[in-house]
Amino acid sequence: MISSTTALSPTTGPGQTAYGTVKAALMSYGTKMAATLGPEGIRVNTVIPGVILFDGSPMDQMRAVMPDMIDRIAAGSYLGRVGDPQEVANTVAFLGSPRASYITGTSLRVDGGIVKSVDFS
């Protein structure tokens, strides 16, 4: 099983208490499900995408009204860019493959380091 939540789960800002709590609960749920289902050979992990840009995405819509916003967000990432949907898909494919057969109960960030480099306060 592979679930997905948001990179902002543990670091939401003021006024986002409920949102952050629910998203963080999804990560905890994945860990608990891994413990429950592990004896049956079922692995459970969570993928945590960061800022991913694709046509029609919230970031794409933001870019339409604030063209420089994506560049500013990208500059806050350790890699200096936003993500691509294929990067998230590659991560999910890896976690679902036999190559990840010993990975369970974890939350894996696919965020270019943005959460650690942006101050959300």
What would the pLDDT profile of 82-104 be if each residue is shown by its tens digit?
A: 999 999 999 999 999 999 999 99
Is residue 19 among the annotated active site residues? yes
Record the tokens describing residue 111, joined without a space.
């965020």
User: What percent of the chain has a predicted confidence (pLDDT) above 70?
Assistant: 88
The pLDDT score that the predictor gives to residue 21 is: 83
| Spatial CA neighbour of 27 closest among 52, 5, 50, 60 | 5
The catalytic residue among 19, 29, 78, 102 is 19
pLDDT tens figures, 49-78: 988 999 988 888 888 898 898 899 899 889
Q: Regarding predicted confidence, which is higher, 30 or 115?
A: 30
User: What percent of the chain has a predicted confidence (pLDDT) above 90?
Assistant: 51
- Please give the Cα distance from 109 to 60 (Å, whole number): 21
- Please give the Cα distance from 121 to 115 (Å, whole number): 12
Domain 2-117 CATH assignment equals 3.40.50.720? yes
The pLDDT score that the predictor gives to residue 9 is: 55
| Spatial CA neighbour of 53 closest among 35, 71, 38 | 71
